[in-house]
Amino acid sequence: MELFSPEFFTALLTIVFIDLILAGDNAIVIGLAARNLPKEQQKKAVIWGTAGAVAIRIIATLLVVQLLNVPWLNLVGGLLLVWIAYKLLVQDDAHDNVKAGNTLWQSVRTIIIADAAMGIDNVIAVAGAAHGDTLLVILGLIISVPVVVWGSTLFIKLINRFEWIVYVGSGVLAYTAAKMITHEKSFKEFFESSPAIYWAFIAIVIVLTIAAGYFTNVRNKQAAQQKSSESH
């Protein structure tokens, strides 16, 4: 990918947006892990925990970027990312097992371990959007990390207030997933031979992912309402 070309900046913006849309969980984990600390230590726990988590994430993403050259891994990564995009829309609260630390280093350790365990979706998404470009991975993380640390709570509020932001985020992830699948060596020639098929495939993946998430949410909401009316 040519440096500072429109394609480069589009990929960079996609990476930053992916980091932001998947940052809500990280912010919750950071908040939960540091909640028992005195106020003056909470900021240190956030800074050190985030620094450790980012270092692990950069290494993991660079490893995945290299692995995507292995045959069929683009397809596997793309399908996994479609699932992540769907789960983003219908996610349940899964943070009950995040224990708050009583010391600074306990909290830092909890933040790093929890982020590493939950960050696989982010790693796959960023690696897919970077298309093998190491500079893009590092630049994307450098730009988005300060925003995530200081702006993620604001972003959570925005997501809670404007539900459509999550659908946009899911669409971006589905778009990245579809592009990963089209970059699979075995399919690349087929998709490159016809731009119409390429864009139709990407559109179908995006629409199906968002529609599946939307209808699951509608069904879950109806089930919750029915359960509530039965209990009354």
User: For residues 89 and 86, what is the distance between their CA atoms, to the nearest angstrom?
Assistant: 5
Reduced to 3 states (helix: H, G, I; strand: E, B; else coil), residue 2 is coil
For residue 1, being part of any structural domain is answered with no
Q: Among all chains, which residue has been given the structure tokens 């990280």?
A: 26
For residue 124, being part of any structural domain is answered with yes
For residue 58, being part of any structural domain is answered with yes
What's residue 100's pLDDT?
A: 62
The predicted-structure confidence for 173-228, as pLDDT tens digits, reads as follows 888 889 889 988 888 889 989 899 999 999 999 999 999 999 998 998 888 888 88
For residue 55, being part of any structural domain is answered with yes
The predicted-structure confidence for 65-113, as pLDDT tens digits, reads as follows 787 778 888 888 889 888 878 887 886 555 555 566 678 888 778 777 7
For residue 185, being part of any structural domain is answered with yes
Sequence-ordered list of residues with C-beta below 8 angstroms from that of 221, at least 6 positions apart, any chain: none
Domain that holds residue 227: 6-231
The two structure tokens encoding residue 61: 């993403």
For residue 95, being part of any structural domain is answered with yes
What's residue 150's pLDDT?
A: 63
Nearest partner of 201 among 215, 188, 217, judged by Cα: 188
Residues 148, 15: contact at Cβ < 8 Å?
A: no
The predicted-structure confidence for 27-66, as pLDDT tens digits, reads as follows 666 666 777 778 778 778 877 877 787 788 778 888 887 8
Q: Report, in this order, helix, strand and coil percent for the chain, each rounded to 5.
A: 85, 0, 15
For residue 215, being part of any structural domain is answered with yes
| Number of domains present in the structure of the chain | 1
For residue 168, being part of any structural domain is answered with yes
